Amino acid sequence: MLAYAIRRILMLVPVFLAVSVVIFLILHFIPGDPIDNLLKVGAPPEQRAEMMARYGLDRPLPVQYAIWLGKLLTGDLGTAIVARRPVADLIGQALPHSLLLGGLALAFSTVVGVTLGVVAALNKDRFLDRAIMGGVLFGSTLPSFWLGLLLILVFAVGLGWFPVSGARTWSSLVLPVLTIGLGGTALVARITRVSMVDIAAKDFVLLLHAKGLSPMRIQIRHVLRHALIPVVTILALRIGWILGGAVTVEVVFARPGLGTLLIKALSQHDYPVVQASLLMLAMAVMLGTLLGDLLQAAMDPRVRGALS
């Protein structure tokens, strides 16, 4: 198991390098550059070249990449060109907000998703099952941008229960958490339901029934426990997704966070900021996947056995 974990972690190194190359190249191939955003009306024509040189943007791309990677490996994320401050500061300010929002949204979709999945499984093929599964499917297909505005209209403007936007009070978290969380609920509910139905048909469950255990006790103590293994894996995978999924939601709710930072920096071609934020999101996905695999190995003796 330990050897497996170490091997998996080592495998992240080449993936990390590949991701960093892709991010760097895609960004630099987008037409435009940050200097356009720094030149004001009246700036003398030669100032452009001076500024390109100052930020090292006049060097060949491989050199720029090597410099960036070299600094990155020593923990230096560089200085934002347009935002004019250390990238680490910008990310340091944004990340806690994104983690809080993403974490709460993940918790919401887990609790609600698992609950709905269990209820649906217990009522398999009955009206309640169909209503729940239909409902969550509908919820998950709504674009988060639109859902966010809809929730603002109903609960902030109409009912006045929550603030429209911002991050000044805890209550301002409710609507963005719902917006992101509702999208994730469908997947969790579906997997919980399928997995429970699947486990319930296994021989050992039949044996438990034969032994005379109460059906409720069988479902919760035995079936759900087994059924949760794939759910946990999916949840770990979603850690990265949640951070990335918050991008548009943060903008709609005018909240600070990686998404707001990324969108602004992208429109200004502020390379160091975009590179660092994208790398952050990619890392979250990679680590989430790793965590999911390790958790699955830890929980499922069959996987564990196959590895050793």
Partner 1 sequence: MTSLRLRKTLAAAGISLAALFAGHGFAAAQEAVFVIATNEVGAPTYNPIKANNLNIGTTLIFDRLVSQDADLSFHPWLAESWEEAPDGMSWVFHLKKGVKFHNGEPFNAETIAKWLELFKASENAYMTEAIAKVEVVDEHTVKFVMSRPEPNLLYNFSSSYLSVVEPKSYQALGDNYGVTEVYGTGPFKMESFTVGQETVLVRNEDYAWASPLAKNRGPAKIAKLTLREIAEDSTAFLELKSGGVDLLLGVPTDFLGQVKAETNLEVLTLPGQDVAYMPINVTKEPFTDIKVREAAAKAINQKEILESVYGGVGEVANTFLISALPESKVDPKYQISYDPERSKALLDEAGWKVGADGVREKDGKPLKVSLWTQSDSSFRRLTEVVQAELKAVGIDSEITTFDSSAIRDQYKSGNQQLAVRSYNWDNADIIDWFFGGDRLGYPNVSMFNDPKAEELRKVAMTGSKNMAERVKNFTAYHEYVLSQFPMAPIYQPVTSIAYNKDRLVLPAEIHSPSVGATVIMDMEVKE
Contact (Cβ atoms closer than 8 angstroms) between residue 232 and residue 238? no
Piece of the chain touching partner 1 by CB under 8 A; list 39-47, 60-68, 70-78, 218-226:
39-47
**Alpha carbons 29 and 52: distance in angstroms, whole number:** 16
Nearest CB to partner 1, comparing residues 240 and 245: 245
Interface with partner 1, residue 32, by CB under 8 A: yes
Interface with partner 1, residue 77, by CB under 8 A: no
**Alpha carbons 117 and 110: distance in angstroms, whole number:** 10
Contact (Cβ atoms closer than 8 angstroms) between residue 178 and residue 221? no
Piece of the chain touching partner 1 by CB under 8 A; list 79-87, 99-107, 226-234, 290-298:
79-87
Backbone angle region of 130, left / alpha / beta, with phi > 0 → left and psi within -120 to 50 → alpha: alpha
**Of 155, 115, 158, which is closest to residue 135 (Cα–Cα)?**
115
Q: How far is the CB of 277 from partner 1 (least distance, A)?
A: 13
**Alpha carbons 49 and 275: distance in angstroms, whole number:** 23
Piece of the chain touching partner 1 by CB under 8 A; list 9-17, 108-116, 264-272, 279-287:
264-272
Nearest CB to partner 1, comparing residues 165 and 296: 165
Which 119-178 residues touch partner 1, going by CB under 8 A? Answer: 149, 152-153, 156-157, 160, 163-172
**Alpha carbons 272 and 103: distance in angstroms, whole number:** 26
Q: How far is the CB of 252 from partner 1 (least distance, A)?
A: 5
Q: How far is the CB of 276 from partner 1 (least distance, A)?
A: 16
Interface with partner 1, residue 92, by CB under 8 A: no
Which 241-260 residues touch partner 1, going by CB under 8 A? Answer: 251-254, 256, 260
Q: How far is the CB of 281 from partner 1 (least distance, A)?
A: 18
**Of 71, 101, 11, which is closest to residue 275 (Cα–Cα)?**
71
Interface with partner 1, residue 115, by CB under 8 A: no
Q: How far is the CB of 272 from partner 1 (least distance, A)?
A: 13
In 123-173, which ranges are continuous DSSP H helix? 127-141, 144-151
DSSP string covering 208-220, please?
Answer: HHHTT--HHHIII
Interface with partner 1, residue 82, by CB under 8 A: yes
Interface with partner 1, residue 14, by CB under 8 A: no
What are the backbone dihedrals phi and psi of residue 268, each rounded to the nearest 5 degrees, phi first?
Answer: -100, 0
Interface with partner 1, residue 267, by CB under 8 A: yes
In the chain, the amino acid numbered 268 is Q
The DSSP code for 75 is T
The token pair at 130 is 């169909």
Q: Which residues are near partner 1 by CB under 8 A? A: 30-33, 36-45, 47, 51, 80, 82-85, 90, 93, 149, 152-153, 156-157, 160, 163-172, 251-254, 256, 260-261, 263-264, 266-269
